Amino acid sequence: MQLRHEDMNNLMRLQRVDLDIARSKKEFAELPARKEHASIREKIAQVEQKARALASAQRQLTDSIAQAEAEDARLAEEQEGAQARIDAAGTNYRSIESDSKKLRSLGDKRAACEKRLEKLYADSEKAAGLRKQIEGARSALASEDRRCSEVLDAARAEYGKRADALADRRDELASQLPADLLKRYTASVARGGGVGVGVLSEGKCGSCRTPLEHGKLIELRAHAPLGVCPNCGRLLIVAD
């Protein structure tokens, strides 16, 4: 393919712009703030999961406390009834003995119930403390999330401006190339992993750096100023 000197220059300019676009995308994708933001969001999700688990545990504790308090009240009422019957039994020793035995049993049950309540109250107080810690973590992470989001928004805006400028420059250069050359370049970029053209220098391909055989060099120079590297398949500008 016969090219004007300006076509070769524009082809190399286009490749530099394409490499700048790829580099800019990579830099934005690898911003430390993006990783930090993802880490913060992961921590927020973990805290929210703990908050849900704690809320469920607190509801269970509340139900258990209510049940234990109701049981303690019922036992206390039965104790009062048994004591009242003992006080009113007079010389009815059989009744006194029966209610006394029941009173002792009720006392044991209340002791066990009070012990269970004591543990439930302690667990409830511990859960309340954990809830405060979770609320503190929520607040701190929300602040970090806002700060990191602001950094990312600024970086995204800057990247957008640069991407728009590079896209405009690319469109300008692409419009100045012959359609066939642009098509060949686009295919070469796809084959070459983002690099579509190199310059022959010192008998080597400027893209893959492979030394070329003498016969191939003669053939390339015969078709100058543009050929194809026999090793990597990229377009090759023959400038020497």
DSSP 180-207: HHHHHHHHHHHHTTT--EEEEBTTB-TT
Give the per-residue pLDDT at 1.
52
CA distance 74 to 80: 10
Q: Do 78 and 106 meet the contact criterion of CB atoms below 8 Å apart?
A: yes
- When pLDDT is averaged across residues 149-167 and rounded to a whole number, the result is 96
191: Cβ–Cβ under 8 A, 6 or more apart, which residues? 233, 234
What would the pLDDT profile of 15-34 be if each residue is shown by its tens digit?
A: 999 999 999 999 999 999 99
Whole-number percent of the chain with pLDDT over 70? 99
Give the per-residue pLDDT at 237.
92
- When pLDDT is averaged across residues 82-90 and rounded to a whole number, the result is 91
- When pLDDT is averaged across residues 175-193 and rounded to a whole number, the result is 94
Give the per-residue pLDDT at 240.
59
Give the per-residue pLDDT at 239.
75
Give the per-residue pLDDT at 2.
61
More confident residue, 37 or 222: 37
CA distance 233 to 196: 9
Where does the pLDDT of residue 223 fall: very low under 50, low under 70, confident under 90, or very high at 90 and above? confident
User: What average pLDDT does the structure give for the chain?
Assistant: 94
Give the per-residue pLDDT at 140.
98
Neighbours of 185 (CB within 10 A): 20
- When pLDDT is averaged across residues 79-87 and rounded to a whole number, the result is 93
Give the per-residue pLDDT at 175.
96
* pLDDT(49) > 80: yes
